[in-house]
Amino acid sequence: MNQTAQQQNNIPDIHQTIIINAPIQEVWKVISTSEGIAQWQMPNTLTSELGAQFTFTSPPIQEWDGIIYSTLVEYNPPIKLSYTWKTNVIKEELMVTFELEAKSDQTVLRLSHTGWSKCSSDKLFVRNMLDKGWAENGLENMKKIVEG
């Protein structure tokens, strides 16, 4: 994609914040381990090794083969976790970042799914599905698991 085409894309990044009634260490466990993520998102092969490549797997939907390809780029317990994100449909490398902040007995979790401006405008529907999925399924499911 050339520079002019990129500048014309107005697909916004995804930014969401949720407050979880649990200590930061409990939230960290469910966002930073393969077992924890599998409880609220999908099966995966995440490790804590920086630079490690891993995948998320889900049943295929339409053109999507059900695989998300990722590389761990930041692992800073219990504050920040970032990994790349791309699929056979979204070939541009996007970034998913979780940032945690302790607030007495609660944790503020900020999710960013960025890099959408690199995608062609026909990928807006994918971005919108993911925005809704992160909010209604992912983060809410994770909150329920952590809060018990």
Amino acid at 98: F
* Residue scoring higher pLDDT (7 or 34): 34
Is 1 contained in some domain? no
Is 105 contained in some domain? yes
Query: 133 is in which domain, residue-wise?
Result: 12-147
pLDDT for residue 10: 87
The domain tally of the chain equals 1
Report how far residue 58's alpha carbon sits from residue 54's, in angstroms, rounded to the nearest whole number: 14
Is residue 40 within 8 A of residue 142, CB to CB? The reply is yes
Amino acid at 135: A
Is residue 111 within 8 A of residue 139, CB to CB? The reply is yes
Is 54 contained in some domain? yes
Is 4 contained in some domain? no
pLDDT for residue 9: 76
pLDDT, tens digit (0-9, with 9 covering 90-100), for 63-101 = 999 999 999 999 999 999 999 999 999 999 999 999 999
Residues in Cβ contact with 54 at an 8 Å cutoff, skipping those fewer than 6 apart: 34, 44, 45, 46, 47, 70, 71, 72, 83
Residue 21 has pLDDT above 50, yes or no: yes
Report how far residue 15's alpha carbon sits from residue 131's, in angstroms, rounded to the nearest whole number: 8
Is 5 contained in some domain? no
pTM for the model = 0.92
Is residue 9 within 8 A of residue 3, CB to CB? The reply is no
Is 55 contained in some domain? yes
Is residue 123 within 8 A of residue 90, CB to CB? The reply is yes
Is residue 100 within 8 A of residue 28, CB to CB? The reply is yes
Is 3 contained in some domain? no
pLDDT band of residue 3 (cuts 50, 70, 90) is very low
Strand partners of residue 106: 103
CATH code at position 70? 3.30.530.20
Is 2 contained in some domain? no
